[in-house]
Structure 1
């Protein structure tokens, strides 16, 4: 059996490869990416740009194979508008066309919470998406493209769409990593409030849930928010990081009327540590995502939030979070 991972060289793809090799050691894992990474022989790397037609020569493909579609332009802010649409929408079209051509029946698509749009209200899977960024719009369209693929053969095709909160773990180099180093370097301050909700999930938990849904799929298209339930506030996240890593820090709160002008100035200096007005504004708005559907799905979490941070630290020899 083959597992095809588009964007397999990335953060989530690397962790999924590790898990697949552990659970299904005899299976072939193909990493389809523009960045080469064989994960120390765990995956077979094939150069693949999802913006173009996917052709895999000399690979024996069967209808029982599985596609994990992770390929995306996702960092926001950080790209021009057309880059999100070109990769995320055209990529979805080409991945679904690849599945159609070979009769592959199972796709797991990693979307985002960005289709919900930025607002404080609690977001469930039934909440009407109102994306307000090119990234969020492109991800919502990509979801619909995958759903159209599944609808062409409702009885046979299986589609799982996951909308993860902030995904953290070894190799993330994103929001949680910046938060940790900001606290450690006395450079992080609570941006105007301490109760901002930041829905999140540990990367090892996310990929385990994906495999669980492959084996416990109840209907043609299943959509899940992927986050701890209930979601954590920024103060809880900071205090857990401090506790697990032994940091003795007092984290002050800075009012918005001071923070935003300061972010503008820092941004003009080259945005050290990724600080810029757009990113600071994101920190001030809750990502209030409901994970109840996941928690009621029968899947059993392997880690509490504190255990997840501790495991991440252990993966870095208990020296830091990175």
Structure 2
């Protein structure tokens, strides 16, 4: 059996490969990505390829000509995406996320693949305080969110046409070793005392990367087709996340509260002078002020059993980093 991962050299893909090698050692794993482990733009600290994994350089923006012998039992994970915001031109989200969805599904149809797990995002819901369920009408308000919603529709079209299994995952903030994103910046900001609350009740739906890839496999093995919000339920607010992070890493810090408008002014001044490197950027400050209020009831009531609590996940991540830091 083949596990074919488009975008497998990234953060989530790296953890998925580690899990597959552990749980399905006799199956063949393919990492099809535009970059390879150890190259610029992929997971920092991961410099070597996994033994037994077949790596092939593929650009999903172009028609995919890669050839292998496949069966309808093989699984494709479509993780390939341009996702970090801010950080890319608008056109880049559409080129990779929409054309990529078209090219991956076309390749799957050509090769008789009947199972795809696609990692979408909560971005199609749009930025707003209201609670979002899987049944909530998507109202994306960013190029990234729009591109991901269109990509979902492309995958649904493939599934309907081919009577195939499709699982679409909309994760909250995904964190863990190699993330180097929101949670990594949060930890660094607390530790170095440049993180401030703008409000303590901002909800930040999130999920540990190891938990996410465990869910991938559970959903496939249990035929859990459809759209899934992937987050703790209930979702945690920023104060709860900070306190769990401090406790898990033994960090003693008091986090002050600063008015959001003042922090935005500071970010607009500091950002162009190098503030982006530490996350002091107006766009990131705005994101911090708006809840990602994602409902995880469907996952909670599905029968899937979480392996880690919030604090346990931070402890596990801290352990993976030799108890020196979170990154």
TM-score, scaled to structure 2? 0.95
Task: List runs of 5+ in structure 2 lacking aligned partners.
Answer: 38-47
Counterpart of 2:222 (choices 216, 223, 244) is 216
Counterpart of 2:73 (choices 61, 64, 71) is 64
Give the Cα–Cα distance (whole angstroms) in 2 for the partners of residues 20 and 80 of structure 1. 34
Give the Cα–Cα distance (whole angstroms) in 1 for the partners of residues 177 and 202 of structure 2. 24
Which residue does the alignment assign to 2:302? 297
Deviations 1:65-105 (A, max 9, x none): 11000000000111111000000000000000010001100
| Match status 1:282 vs 2:287 | yes
Q: CA deviation at 1:42?
A: 4.6
Which residue does the alignment assign to 1:89? 98
Check the 8 A contact 2:109/2:162 in 1, yes or no. no
Which residue does the alignment assign to 2:205? 199
Which residue does the alignment assign to 2:110? 101
Deviations 1:105-138 (A, max 9, x none): 0000000000000000000000000000000000
Check the 8 A contact 1:266/1:272 in 2, yes or no. no
Give the Cα–Cα distance (whole angstroms) in 1 for the partners of residues 203 and 135 of structure 2. 20
Give the Cα–Cα distance (whole angstroms) in 2 for the partners of residues 178 and 34 of structure 1. 26
SS in 2 for 1:254: coil
Which residue does the alignment assign to 1:50? 60
Q: CA deviation at 1:164?
A: 0.1
Deviations 1:154-183 (A, max 9, x none): 3xx100000000000000000000000110
Q: CA deviation at 1:53?
A: 1.1
SS in 1 for 2:229: strand
Which residue does the alignment assign to 1:160? 167
Which residue does the alignment assign to 1:29? 29
Check the 8 A contact 2:60/2:96 in 1, yes or no. yes
TM-score, scaled to structure 1? 0.96
SS in 2 for 1:208: helix
Q: CA deviation at 1:39?
A: 3.2
Give the Cα–Cα distance (whole angstroms) in 1 for the partners of residues 111 and 87 of structure 2. 35
Deviations 1:262-298 (A, max 9, x none): 0100112132313211111001000000001001111
| Match status 1:181 vs 2:188 | yes
| Match status 1:132 vs 2:141 | yes
Give the Cα–Cα distance (whole angstroms) in 1 for the partners of residues 124 and 252 of structure 2. 37
Give the Cα–Cα distance (whole angstroms) in 1 for the partners of residues 147 and 191 of structure 2. 35
Aligned length: 316
List aligned pairs for 1:254-273, cutoff 5 A.
254-270=258-274, 271-273=276-278
Give the Cα–Cα distance (whole angstroms) in 1 for the partners of residues 153 and 174 of structure 2. 23
Give the Cα–Cα distance (whole angstroms) in 1 for the partners of residues 82 and 318 of structure 2. 27
Q: CA deviation at 1:152?
A: 0.6
Which residue does the alignment assign to 1:314? 319
**Structure 1 residues 56, 159: closer, same or farther in 2, change over 3 A?**
same
| Match status 1:235 vs 2:239 | yes
SS in 1 for 2:162: coil
After superposition, the CA RMSD in angstroms is 1.0
